[in-house]
A and B are shown apart, each in its own frame.
Chain A
Amino acid sequence: MTFIAILSIFVMACFVGYYVVWSVTPALHTPLMAVTNAISSVIIVGALIASAEAGSAAAKWLGLIAVVLASINIFGGFAVTERMLAMYKKKERPAPPTARDDAAGKGSRS
């Protein structure tokens, strides 16, 4: 790919990012940070190439360490995002079986 082709992708992606991120609801800004963290670890692609290719033992080891670091991020980032998102519930949730929550569900809210 030529530099200009790559630059075009980059600039377009910046614009996509700009509009997509503004549409993220502020309530989900923490999960947004966690998930962007996970996806920015796509840098693991570079780490995998370095660890797989022959040619330099030092590069291979740096690559392997980078694979470990990026994997922590990928698994950790997606898992913690999943955990957080599972906690966001709407008001009309299936009532938990405690008396107090049942009573709360009948609260008068306009």
Chain B
Amino acid sequence: MSILPPPPPQGDLPPPPALPQIGEMMNTHAVNPWVALAYLIAGVLFILALRGLSSPSTSRMGNRFGMAGMLIAVVTTLVTHDIAGLGETLIAIGVGGGIGWLIARRIAMTDMPQLVAAFHSLVGLAAVLVGWAAFLNPSAFDLLVVGDIIQAGNLVGIGTTIAAASRIEMALGVAIGAITFSGSVIAFLKLAGKMSGAPILLPGRHVINLGIIVAIVVLTALFATGNVAQGEYFAALTVLAFIVGFLLIIPIGGADMPVVVSMLNSYSGWAAAAMGFTLHNTAMIITGALVGSSGAILSYIMCRAMNRSFISVIAGGFGADSSGASGDAVKTDRPWKRGSAEDAAFMLKQAENVIIIPGYGMAVAQAQHALREMGDMLKAEGVNVKYAIHPVAGRMPGHMNVLLAEANVPYDEVFELEDINSEFAQADVAFIIGANDVVNPAAKTDKGSPIYGMPVFDVGNAKTVMFIKRSMGGAGYAGVDNEVFYMDQTMMLLSDAKKMVEEIVKALD
């Protein structure tokens, strides 16, 4: 691309006025310490933005810090670069910002997982585009170095090319960005129900994926070591990264989505960090590292909450082979008790302590508002109501917390698994709505169960268990039968979650 055998120079790049030493970066823009400082401040503000999230009371301040950091980064960039096309740039910001703002205003809280997945895909695609822009116009990003031009083994001259280190960083950024993009698109389609959430298993997929990843690494090496940056390698690795992102997420099932969404969150961060290395921009590096570690930690928390290794989640296919499992035969001929909304209302009113366990089914049924109403009525009767949330309830980390917050449930009534699990022994009613696997005692007792080892709520310790479920047919996501259905103290409330809660509310009145 930019071989410049001097003299005379050719191509679209101006020759450097004075050739620096071979291998040395050419500074076409003088680095202003104030600019570097501004990016550093932006990075620190982003750290403070995450720090604010340690408590709901400081979180909004944190979000403002984040906005301020972004404003500083954008304004700094605009004022320190040739702003020939400022109009177009501002229009682009306006168009994108308008779309983003509208989406953010309109989105239903139950749709947050797919929105986040969609946003991840945009970061990934932006990273790919920036990487390619840097490749096509390296002088704009100060990426050129002077080096020997060797053709067919002969030194034919000296010219400028993209530094090898920059090429590796660009390739990494573009590859991770492309994986983030196509992976997030699949995650979005699955979460939005536009594509079956069931795992799609291709034969030999591990071999294919590994092969593609190896190919990407090889192409990166070829791209970096050539004496000029060759677009063919760069294009090939971009395409392969798009394909592998798609293949990686296709085999992962719906309930593993919390891990996938966190993982893609992490990837989008690493992509930004890699571009930050290319551009020598502290704000991007700090942010990329923050987001990358944030997503990685969330993935870890999600995996731990399912007692599954990260590798096994990524390898995919969980729950795919459970259709005809042993549970079905047992389930039909075991006795269980069915309750009505009136029975449930009566018992809830008599109770002293009630613990509500919401799950993904509550989100699907949009039952959170009705549930909060029920909780308020019980509190008016003097009942002590608490909400218990499992880390993997829902389709993304913290999904249930947001839905309950949306329904005006005060956050100090909402507890995490380890904080509330000991309280079931004192609870009169454990009220399970739209959850299943997270209360299944098989996770503690049955070594053969696919969910064995997963931390679960000890609902069996409660005096009464109320279990809202559509029908006795479908087991949980893991496809395993649940002992809780058949316990003496369990009352099955078979109905749509929202309808059932509304009926209970009516009966409480």
Give A residues with C-beta under 8 Å from B: 1, 3, 6, 9-11, 13-14, 16-18, 20-56, 58-60, 62-91, 93, 100-101, 103-104, 106-110
Decide: B383 and A107 in contact? CB cutoff 8 A. Answer: yes
Decide: A36 and B129 in contact? CB cutoff 8 A. Answer: no
B93 within 8 A of A: yes
Contact with A along B268-301 (1 / 0, CB 8 A): 1101110111111111111111111111011001
Given A43-B123, A103-B379, 7 more pairs with CB closer than 8 A: A30-B116, A41-B122, A41-B123, A42-B283, A43-B130, A59-B140, A76-B103
Q: Give the distance in Å from the alpha carbon of A62 to the alpha carbon of B165 in the complex.
A: 22
Q: A6-B285, A76-B100, A107-B382 are in contact. Are A37 and B405 (CB under 8 A)?
A: no
B420 within 8 A of A: no
Decide: A28 and B401 in contact? CB cutoff 8 A. Answer: yes
Decide: A93 and B398 in contact? CB cutoff 8 A. Answer: no
Decide: B86 and A52 in contact? CB cutoff 8 A. Answer: yes
Min CB gap A110→B, angstroms: 7
Q: Give the distance in Å from the alpha carbon of A29 to the alpha carbon of B145 in the complex.
A: 43
Question: Within 8 Å CB of A107, what residues of B?
Answer: 376, 378-385
Decide: B292 and A85 in contact? CB cutoff 8 A. Answer: no
B315 within 8 A of A: no
Question: Within 8 Å CB of A49, what residues of B?
Answer: 77, 81, 140-141, 279
Q: Give the distance in Å from the alpha carbon of A47 to the alpha carbon of B373 in the complex.
A: 48
Q: Give the distance in Å from the alpha carbon of A81 to the alpha carbon of B116 in the complex.
A: 11
Q: Give the distance in Å from the alpha carbon of A101 to the alpha carbon of B378 in the complex.
A: 11
Question: Within 8 Å CB of B413, what residues of A?
Answer: 91, 109
Within 8 A of A (CB), among B17-72: 31, 39, 42-43, 46-47, 49-51, 53-57, 59-60, 62-63, 66-67, 69-70
B235 within 8 A of A: no
Decide: B105 and A79 in contact? CB cutoff 8 A. Answer: yes
B397 within 8 A of A: yes
Decide: A23 and B405 in contact? CB cutoff 8 A. Answer: no
B112 within 8 A of A: yes
Given B56, B88, B112, B290, which contacts A16 in the complex, CB threshold below 8 Å?
Answer: B290
Question: Within 8 Å CB of B74, what residues of A?
Answer: 44-45, 48
Given A23, A28, A51, which contacts B89 in the complex, CB threshold below 8 Å?
Answer: A51
Q: Closest residue of chain A to B76, judged by CB?
A: A45
Decide: B63 and A33 in contact? CB cutoff 8 A. Answer: no
B119 within 8 A of A: yes
Decide: B279 and A30 in contact? CB cutoff 8 A. Answer: no
Q: Give the distance in Å from the alpha carbon of A8 to the alpha carbon of B165 in the complex.
A: 16
Q: Give the distance in Å from the alpha carbon of A66 to the alpha carbon of B131 in the complex.
A: 10
B469 within 8 A of A: no
Q: Closest residue of chain B to A1, judged by CB?
A: B280
Decide: B100 and A74 in contact? CB cutoff 8 A. Answer: yes
Give B residues with C-beta under 8 Å from A: 12-13, 31, 39, 42-43, 46-47, 49-51, 53-57, 59-60, 62-63, 66-67, 69-70, 73-74, 77-78, 81-86, 88-89, 92-101, 103-105, 107, 109, 112, 115-116, 119-120, 122-123, 125-127, 129-130, 132-134, 136-137, 139-141, 165, 261-262, 265, 268-269, 271-273, 275-295, 297-298, 301, 373, 375-385, 389, 391, 396-399, 401-402, 405-406, 408, 410-414, 416
Given A20, A41, A56, which contacts B51 in the complex, CB threshold below 8 Å?
Answer: A20
Q: Can you report 9 residue pairs joining A to B where beta carbons are below 8 Å apart?
A: A9-B282, A18-B293, A30-B402, A37-B265, A39-B290, A45-B281, A71-B93, A71-B100, A80-B112
Minimum-distance CB pairs A-B, first 4: A71-B96, A76-B100, A107-B379, A29-B398
Given B70, B95, B375, B384, which contacts A78 in the complex, CB threshold below 8 Å?
Answer: B70
Q: A14-B289, A85-B63 are in contact. Are A34 and B116 (CB under 8 A)?
A: yes
Given A21, A84, A110, which contacts B293 in the complex, CB threshold below 8 Å?
Answer: A21
Question: Within 8 Å CB of B127, what residues of A?
Answer: 43
Given A36, A82, A87, which contacts B405 in the complex, CB threshold below 8 Å?
Answer: A87
Decide: B97 and A75 in contact? CB cutoff 8 A. Answer: yes
Given B295, B297, B398, which contacts A31 in the complex, CB threshold below 8 Å?
Answer: B398
Q: A31-B59, A72-B97, A104-B380 are in contact. Are A43 and B140 (CB under 8 A)?
A: no
Decide: B293 and A14 in contact? CB cutoff 8 A. Answer: yes
Question: Within 8 Å CB of B129, what residues of A?
Answer: 47, 62-63, 65-66, 69
Decide: B294 and A42 in contact? CB cutoff 8 A. Answer: no
Decide: A108 and B85 in contact? CB cutoff 8 A. Answer: no
Q: Closest residue of chain B to A53, judged by CB?
A: B140
Question: Within 8 Å CB of B298, what residues of A?
Answer: 21, 29, 32-33
Q: Give the distance in Å from the alpha carbon of A74 to the alpha carbon of B391 in the complex.
A: 27
Q: Closest residue of chain B to A108, judged by CB?
A: B382
Q: Give the distance in Å from the alpha carbon of A35 to the alpha carbon of B133 in the complex.
A: 26
Q: A56-B136, A75-B101, A85-B60 are in contact. Are A48 and B77 (CB under 8 A)?
A: yes
Decide: B268 and A37 in contact? CB cutoff 8 A. Answer: yes
Min CB gap B385→A, angstroms: 8
Decide: B96 and A50 in contact? CB cutoff 8 A. Answer: no
Given B49, B81, B285, which contacts A35 in the complex, CB threshold below 8 Å?
Answer: B49
Given A16, A29, A36, which contacts B401 in the complex, CB threshold below 8 Å?
Answer: A29
Question: Within 8 Å CB of A27, what residues of B?
Answer: 56, 389, 398, 401, 405, 411, 414, 416
Question: Within 8 Å CB of B49, what residues of A?
Answer: 35, 39
Q: Give the distance in Å from the alpha carbon of A43 to the alpha carbon of B57 in the complex.
A: 29
Q: A17-B50, A24-B54, A46-B284 are in contact. Are A41 and B410 (CB under 8 A)?
A: no
Q: Give the distance in Å from the alpha carbon of A56 to the alpha carbon of B276 in the complex.
A: 21
Question: Within 8 Å CB of A17, what residues of B?
Answer: 47, 50, 289-294
Decide: A55 and B96 in contact? CB cutoff 8 A. Answer: no
Q: Give the distance in Å from the alpha carbon of A92 to the alpha carbon of B148 in the complex.
A: 71
